[in-house]
Every structure is written in C-alpha cells, then in structure tokens.
Structure 1
Amino acid sequence: MRPGGALLALLASLLLLLMMRLLSCPTDAPARARILVEESRADTHGTSATLRTLRSPATQIPRTTNSTYLNENSHQLTEKCKNLQNDVKSLSNKTKGYSERDYLEVITSIQSCPWKRQAEEYENFRAKLASCCDAIQNFVVSQNNTPIGTNMSYEVESKKEIPIRESIFHMFPVFHFLLQSQPFAEYPYNQCAVVGNGGILNNSLCGAEIDKSDFVFRCNLPPTTGNMSKDVGSKTNLVTVNPSIITTKYGNLKEKKAAFLEDIATYGDAFLLLPAFSFQANTGASFKVYHTLKESKARQKVLFFHPKYLKHLALFWKSKGVTAFRLSTGLMITSVAVELCENVKLYGFWPFSKTVEDTPVNHHYYDNKLPKRGFHQMPKEYSQILQLHVKGILKVQFSKCEVV
C-alpha cells in the first residue's frame, strides 16, 4: 500500500461511521444537541440543569430575601410578645402622671400578640385571691358568714358598726356551694363575661358573644335594651347597684318606685348586688331596694357585698400598687369572677378618651359622664388588668368582636 493509502482508508472509514450515525439519529437530535450544549454551559457556570428547569417562566421560585424578612419579623414579634409583661409593669410602676399615649402603644403591641390561657398562671393567681379573700365563701353577706348578734364594721367607715339583728339577718341568703344551693347554683362557671360600661363597646357587635357566656356580670344598672343590645348583650346574671343611683335617679324609691321596677325588669332573674355596708349612708337605700323587690314580688334578688371581703380585697390590690381611696366596681367584680369562673373575659373596660386608632370614645357607652377625681385609680387598676391579660389569666376584648 502506498504511504497515503492508509490515511485515505482511515478517512473513508470515519466518513462511513458518521453517515451511519446520522441515519440512526431521531428527528429531535438537534434539540437534544442544544440541551447538551445548554447543560454544558450551565455546568460550566456551576448551575445544574434541574435548577434551570425550576427557573422556567411557568414555575415560581421562592424569594429567599422575602422568606428571611418574614422570619426576622416573626422573631421580632416573638421577642416583643415576650417583653409585654415588662412593658405593662413599667406602666404600673410610673410615679408621675400617666400618658394615654403610653398605654395605647402598649395595648397596640398586646393586640398584635396571640392570646392563650395559661392554666398554671390562672391557678396560682386564683389561689392567691382565695387565700386572701375567698370570694366563694365571703364576697356576699350570708347567714353562713354573719350570724345573728354580729357587730359588723363598715368597709370604709371602719369605726362604725351595725348590729345584725334578726330582721337584718333574714335578708341574707343561705350559702352552701358543696350542695350547689342558691344563689350560685352552677359554680364553678365555665365561661364568664364581666361587662364594663366603657364607650369602646359602641359599635363593637359584642352582644351575641356576651350572651353566650354561662354567667354575665354587669356594673351599676347599665341599659341593655333596644339597639344597644347588639353591642352589649342583654343577658345578666348579676348586676351591681350604686346606692347613690337609688337616691338621685329613683328618688329613694318613693315617687319613682315604678320606674325603678320597670328598669330592673330588663335584667330577668339577675341578682342585684349592693355595697350596703361600705358607708353608713348606703345602708338605708340598700335595705329599701331589698324591701321594694320583696313587696313587689319581683324576680330579682338582692345581695350585699361583705365589707370584710372588700377590705381584704383592697389590701390584696394595694400590695400590687393600687392605692386609691376605693377600688372600682369593675376591679371588684373581676376579682370575684376569677374565683367563680374557669374562663373570664372582660368587655367595655376602657378608661381612655380615644381608641388606639385615635377615634374619640365616650366614657360610658350610654353617656360621657366622667368619674369623681381621685376616688378610683383607673390607670393603676388598668395596668393590673393588662398584666392579667398578658399572663393568660383572663382575656380583655380591646376592639370589635368577630361576628360569625
């Protein structure tokens, strides 16, 4: 063979092989070739073909920067919620005048944090209340805790006494919680609502939720009929009565006795709770309510706050910084509810002139009459209520209710 012959034979063999390869390739060979080129280019840049497929227009890729941002926000929220107790305590410890803005900022933070009942915190707090005050046995005067012949001291005017004679003794109920007798036959209650009178209740649509509660506490004979009921509910199991209302609004139940009976009829079978033994001036008006209801055979029954219970309760809250002349009815009833109920929710507790959105709010949902200055210590009391909320002991409804 000539020297160039071997080279020509080799070239001929390669050409034959190439033609056979082309004839055996499917029609999509060019496309596959392009994919191979793309894969080669991608691998050169350190990116796999799988990731290139994920980046096609039809597939949405998670934006890692956004996920990190959300995680950071979640972490910040968790930390903020953990610090809530300290924030609320700092409000309580303020020695100078309080600012509504300070409270509203803390409440805004509270609203952004999820609330969960903390059974251990609740049990501990209830045990402390029971140890000092024992609402179950002592919050109302009964034939059990106040026998005939007792010289009862008044709550505020402690140097004054009233002898409990038979005629007074028979006004008191007989308690026996173990036998589940009246007046609190179904104790302990599962879900209780304590309804304050704050203007925050207007347009809240909380009425239906309140009425679903097992026991509803209200303060100072508030209106619950007509259009208001959609916001405040109508169910009432116990309502407090300030004796001053009996004198000023109802003329000591003389000429306005019928108006009084008509108004309280809206409360159904509720108990009317009066502080008959807080001041000596309260006693006559409170007894008048009892006799009026008895003579009229009204459905409602009268109970009297026990002065010793209220004294012990004032000392309990004084140890926590509430040093006002007297506790508000709202804080008294909240304390009672924690002992009588497994779950407590507060509505209409709002001592501020505006909402967190800066919308003006009336002092009451039915008027804008302000309380006497210096008589109650609302900011200090409210900071204590906020602490109970953030600890998971009770829940405060700060805004509109969810309507199903």
Structure 2
Amino acid sequence: QPSQLPLCNSPVSSLCVTLKCLPLYNGSVSSLNITLHWHPLYNGSVSSLNITLHWPPLYNSPVSSFCITLQSALCITAQWGAFVHEFSGSLCTTGVPNYRKIPYSENTRPGTVTSTFGLVKPEVNFIVTSQSNYTTSPVNNSYCRDVQDRLLTVSLKKRYSEDYYIQTVNDLQNCTWHKRPEERSKFRLDLSSCCNGVKNFIVSQNNTSVGINITYEVESKKRILITEEIYRMLPKSQPFDGTPFKQCAVVGNGGILANSGCGVEIDQSDFVFRCNLPPTSGNVSVDVGNKTNLVTVNPSIISQKYRKLNKVKNVFLKYVSNYGNSLLLLPAFSYSSNTAISFEVHRVLEKNQAKQKAVFFHPNYLKNLAKFWKGKGVRAYRLSTGLMITSAAMELCEEVILYGFWPFSKDLEGKPISHHYYDNMLPKPGFHAMPKEFYQVLQLHHKGVLRLQIGKCEKR
C-alpha cells in the first residue's frame, strides 16, 4: 500500500511508484490488489494521478483478477482494450469480465486507469509479470486471510479431491511464507509434552533396561523381553549430538521432486532425514541431494529386495554405503515379524564394520505420536513414515523444511507425475491417511511452524 503525502504549499503534487508482482505461472489463482492513498494538495494548483496497469491474465487460469482502490478519486475511467468502463472509488475484476472479453496475447493493449485532478499527469506504473516465485509474490493480506480461513474450516471428516488440495497449495504459494517462532515453540512444546522425541525417539540404553518387556507398537498384545544381547545392540543414549540442529531437511520421495533442482539446497542442511532407502546417487542427486544423516528402512524392502540378507549381503552393503555415516532407522518393535529382520540388519552392518549404524524406533514413542495426531483428526491404521520423521524433526531441529511431500498424481499445473521420484509404486489403499496428513502439513506451513517446499528450488 504505497502512500505519499504531498509537500505543503507545493504547486505540484504527484506520486510515482513501480510495483512488480509475480503471480503463479500457470497457477489456478492469479490476483493483484492495490490500495493507493492519494491526497491531492489542499489549495494546490495541480494534483494528479495517472495509473497504467499492465496485467497479463494467466493463460488457462480460471481466476486472474486485479483490484484497485483509490481514495480521494474524483473521476475515474478504466479502459481495457477498446472497452471503457467508468467506476468510482474502486475497480475490481475477476478474470476478464463478459464486457471485456479480449483474447490474451502479447499484443493485447493493457488496461489503463486514469484519474485527473489537475493539468499535469505524472504516472504511476504497475508492471505485473507472469513468473513463479512463491517466496516473493506480494499478495494482499486479506487474500491470505481468506486462504487461512479456508484451511481452518476444512473438515477432516470429509473427503476432498486431489484438485481441491492442489488448488489450496497454489493459493498458499501466492502468500509469502514467514517463520513464526512463537507458533513453532508452541507446537514443539505440545509434541514434547506428548512424545518427548528428544529422549524417546529411538530405543537406547538410557530409556530401557535389561529384563523389561517392551510392548509392540501395533501388535499391542505381544511383548518382547530385552535380553543382554538386545541391550548391547542399543546406543547408550539418543544418537543426536548437537541437538537442536539449526536447520533440517526431511526429504520425502514424492514424484514432485523430479526435476526440482533441490539437491544443493537439501545438502546445505545441518541434518537430513530420508525415508525408506531412496536412491540418492547418480542423476537424481541434482534433485534430491546426497547428504543423509538418518534414513528409515522398511523391513519389507529387506525381505523382498535383499532376500532377508541371505546371499546378497554385499549388494545391500554397497547400496547403503551411498548414505555415508548415517543412521539406518528400523521399526524393529512395531510388528513381531519385523524384529528378526531388523536385528539382522544391525548384525550385518556391525560385522562388516560399515559406516552406517542400525537403530530402532521406540514403540512407545510411535504409540504416543499416533495419539497426538489422532487428536488432530488423522485417523489411519498407521501414520506414514514421513509424518513420523517430520514429527521427530520438529523436536530435534530449530527449523524444518519438507521436500518431496506430495501424495498426489498431478503436479501444481495438473500434469501427471509418478508417485515416487524413482518409481510409480502406490501404497496400500487405506493403510495411511495421506490427504489428512498432508492437510496437517499445510496447516503447519501456513502457521510458519515448518516450510513445505513444492516445485522447483531457487538457485542460491
């Protein structure tokens, strides 16, 4: 809202502003809101304002609008192409109204708004370009409040289409993201009170002891006795020296990461979490980076791809060597069927003096975490690995950025994409509540608790 008071007793009063806005390229929403406080000089001989608005509506965009409000306007005329429309006080359009239906092209004459208070007409130019950059797109605060209101009124009892979520993300992309330390601290306190991931994220010698029985996370009627042998497998304490980390990246495996160019940005993080042994070497590193500090391991991958480590140990060891000095996190105590495979991974890594170390989710942490998210409306057979890791990162890190969190079959422009950046294998239907989880992530993004990176990363 640029404003300027004219000089007292000045014979000329004028305002000159250049405003560059960056609406989403091929986005579903493109809008511009301008409010000018224009005070013609009291008893001045000349006081004038001329606005030329260059507003290219986005091609194929269902909404492309501008809204101009002028205070102290005496007579205002708006011209779009060959059409003239008089208005008083403000002019707002949605798309190109019926009486201004002009095909967009580079040769289309821009709309002009002229308000004359005197003899001289200095200009105020508003230049709008169609180029995507969500972190710098200035949008009216009321617009972002509308987006927030829509997020707050979403019912998690209803099912929403992919298009609804994609539309919502496009809307959020128009609002500049700001981290909000007070919201971040509040959410972190709630998580800590419930789950205390700093002390209980991983089973360690300081949160369990020999001779106790641990109840499995999902199979609540089954228990496992912590023997001396199992106890020796456990780290002495939580293996996260230096916490809280300043900035963490939680890298999901969504197809949205393909061609994102986010690799450099991810690798600049202080701590990088990954899920389910994803590929990071070769051409994909440009998009997903190489750095890994912790990566989860689904025991089913060990069973299916590495035949429970029978006769293919070297293949497994060579693959995980790409993760450097990382922690391999396994759900050894979620299902009883996971235990032997998880212990075998630990044994193979230790016996072969691998740089990677196997650690295990604490089942009590995961059970408490499920209750925490259930209280927020996420009801599923089990939380996704991505949400588990994001939750832990929120306690272990000062700032959290999510990459590759995109459970949809289309990108922001509606183009089909694969489920993962490396394959198109879909999850079991109904096993995870992906849309509801994604909604929670959107909420946290909008509140400034974490940042959700969607689309291409900027070169820094």
TM-score normalised to structure 2 length = 0.71
Distance 1:232 1:329 in 2: 18
- CA 1:76–1:295 in structure 2 vs 1: closer, same or farther (change >3 Å)? closer
Structure 1 residues 75 and 193: alpha-carbon distance in aligned structure 2, compared to 1, 3 A threshold: closer
Is contact 2:139-2:175 (8 Å) kept? no
**Distance between the aligned counterparts of 2:277 and 2:271, measured in 1?**
16
Matched, 1:146 2:208: yes
Q: 2:269 aligns with which of 190, 193, 213?
A: 213
Report the CA distance shift for 1:116/1:149 in structure 2 as closer, same or farther (over 3 A): same
Distance 2:217 2:342 in 1: 15
- How many angstroms does 1:186 deviate by? 1.1
Q: CA RMSD in A?
A: 2.1
1:278 and 1:61 map into 2 onto residues whose CA distance is: 68
Gap change, CA 1:228 and 1:49, over 3 Å in 2: closer
Amino acid at match of 1:297: Q
Which amino acid counterpart does residue 48 of structure 1 have in structure 2? S
CA contact (8 A) 1:207 1:229 kept: yes
| Aligned counterpart, 1:25 | none
What displacement does 1:82 show?
Answer: 1.7
- CA drift of 1:101 comes to 1.0
Which structure would you say has the larger Rg?
Answer: 1
Following superposition, the deviation at residue 361 of structure 1 comes to 1.1
Partner of 2:431: 375
For residues 165 and 45 of structure 2, the distance between their equivalents in structure 1, rounded to whole angstroms, comes to 56
Query: 2:440 corresponds to which residue?
Result: 384
- Deviation, structure 1 residue 81: 1.0
1:393 and 1:276 map into 2 onto residues whose CA distance is: 30
Equivalent residue in structure 2 for 1:116, among 162, 178, 200: 178
Q: Residue in 2 aligned with 1:287?
A: 343
Q: Do the aligned residues in 2 keep the contact of 1:55 with 1:61 (CA within 8 Å)?
A: no
Matching residue of 1:84:
147
User: How far, CA to CA, are the matches of 1:211 and 1:319 in structure 2?
Assistant: 34
2:328 is matched with 272
Separation in 2 of the partners of 1:251 and 1:207? Answer: 31
**1:230 alignment partner, one of 263, 283, 286:** 286
Matched residue, 2:309:
253
**Aligned counterparts of 1:75 and 1:202: Cα–Cα separation in 2:** 27
Aligned equivalents of 2:452, 2:227: Cα separation in 1: 42
2 CA distance for matches of 1:158 and 1:339? 26
**Residue from 397, 412, 415 that aligns with 1:359:** 415
Partner in structure 1 of residue 164 of structure 2: 102
Q: Which residue of 1 aligns with 2:454?
A: 398
Instruction: Name the TM-score, length of structure 1 as normaliser.
Output: 0.81
Contact (CA 8 Å) 1:117, 1:393: kept in 2 or not?
yes
Structure 1 residue 86 displacement after superposition: 2.8
Instruction: Check conservation: 2:244, 2:397, Cα contact below 8 A.
Output: yes
Provide Cα deviations, 1:138-164, integer angstroms capped at 9, x if missing partner.
010000111000101000001100000
Check the 8 A contact 1:84/1:390 in 2, yes or no: no
Give the C-alpha shift of residue 131 in structure 1.
0.3
Aligned to 1:311: 367
Change (3 A) 1:252 1:84: same
Distance in 1 separating the partners of 2:284 and 2:231: 38
CA distance in 2, matches of 1:199, 1:61: 47
Question: Structure 1 residue 83: deviation in Å?
Answer: 3.0
Contact 2:247-2:398 within 8 A present in 1 as well = yes
Distance 1:253 1:82, change over 3 A: same
Is contact 1:206-1:233 (8 Å) kept?
yes
1:293 is paired with a residue whose SS is: helix
SS of residue paired to 1:62: strand
Q: Distance in 1 between matches of 2:47 and 2:143?
A: 41
1 or 2, which has the higher strand percentage? 2
Asked whether 1:302 is paired with 2:358, we answer yes
The reply on whether 1:61 has 2:123 as its aligned counterpart is yes
Which range moves more in the overlay, 74-83 or 341-350?
74-83
Aligned partner of 2:392 in structure 1 is 336
Deviation at 1:256, TM superposition (A): 1.4
1:60/1:303 Cα in 2 relative to 1: closer, same or farther (>3 Å)? same
Separation in structure 2 between the aligned mates of residue 311 and residue 393 of structure 1, nearest angstrom = 23
Would the alpha carbon gap of residues 49 and 304 (structure 1) be closer, same or farther in structure 2, given more than 3 Å must change? closer
Matched, 1:239 2:302: no
What letter corresponds to residue 145 of structure 2 in structure 1? K
Gaps of 5+ in 1: 1-45, 68-73, 176-181
Evaluate the alpha carbon distance shift between residue 307 and residue 55 of structure 1 in structure 2; reply closer, same or farther with a 3 A threshold: same
How far apart, in 2, do the equivalents of 1:201 and 1:110 lie?
19
